[in-house]
Chain A
Amino acid sequence: MLFGFAVSRTKDEGLAKDLVQETFVKAFENADQLKEASQLKSWLFKVLRNKIIDHYRSLAARMNKKTVELDYSVYFDQSEMWQMDKMPGDWLATYDVKKEEDFKHLKSTLEECIDHLKEMPAAVIKLKYMDEVKSGEICKLLNISSSNYWVIVHRAKLKLRDCMEKMLPRL
């Protein structure tokens, strides 16, 4: 379970194994901090989560403005209008979220698209929505500015939407 959690957060099996390993070492070193054996699982997850956040923080430190601008130019031209090949189409009109089949299809497509996100935007999206960490707290955890946070979320949403449009067959 620890390994699965680490892979889903880092998208790197090798790194996930290292983090799980470090988690166990840290757990042994700090075993006296564990008050009740019944809390072992949640305690191990907490240690692992902190290790993953340390990893995210080092990724965030490597982010730079140039990368951000390059990413935007894929979607928008110099006058900040949509690039022709990235203009959203009206695929949503062909789906009905209230229908179980459509709901499942849209959901599984989005899950696949999340899996295709690069590590940093995936990290922010998972912290925000799966771990339900507030945006201010994410900025503190990753040591990123609020404006960088918004850029990451914006890019992630652009990518997710674009990915969905590419993957969804027109009904």
Chain B
Amino acid sequence: MDKLSCRKATFLSVKKSEEGLSLSENITLSYHNRLCKVCKFWDDQSRLIDFFLKKNIEDPSSRPLTPGEKEHIKSKVKQMRSH
């Protein structure tokens, strides 16, 4: 009998990808995902996200400081050092 809720199934799915599950957790999750199509979709999509996060993602770059902002920080640092 499937005793796992969808919330717990998604939690186990996350834990599985990060550090693995015990044998009983693995069996319980597999059983739930065989019965619950929606959680199976979630599991597959979550693994795709892991794939990108683990190897293929780049840190979103942001704009560099403008010259004015650089000067502002320099003057603030000078002020802080003089105190």
Contact = CB atoms under 8 A, between A and B. Distances in A.
Indicate, yes or no, whether A interacts with B: yes
Interface of A: 1, 3-5, 7-8, 17, 20-21, 24-25, 28, 72, 75-76, 79-82, 87-92, 97, 106-107, 110-111, 114-115, 125-126, 128-130, 135, 150, 153-154, 157-158, 160-161, 164-165
A129 B54 contact: yes
Given A8-B62, A106-B52, A17 B69 contact: yes
A144 B21 CA distance: 21
Contacts of B15: 150
A126 B59 CA distance: 8
A150 B17 CA distance: 12
Given A80-B6, A111-B57, A164 B18 contact: no
A90 B59 CA distance: 28
Given A125-B53, A130-B57, A154-B10, A4 B62 contact: yes
Contact of A111 (B10, B46, B51, B58): B58
A110 B49 contact: yes
B58 to A, nearest CB: 7
| Chain A CB within 10 A, most for which of B11, B39, B54 | B11
Nearest to A1: B64
The listed residue with most A CB atoms (<10 A of its CB), out of B45, B48, B51, is B45
Contact of B5 (A24, A81, A88, A115): A81
11 contacts: A7-B63, A8-B61, A21-B80, A28-B81, A88-B41, A88-B45, A92-B44, A107-B52, A130-B57, A154-B10, A161-B49
Contact of A8 (B6, B51, B59, B77): B59
A81 B38 CA distance: 10
B45 A150 contact: no
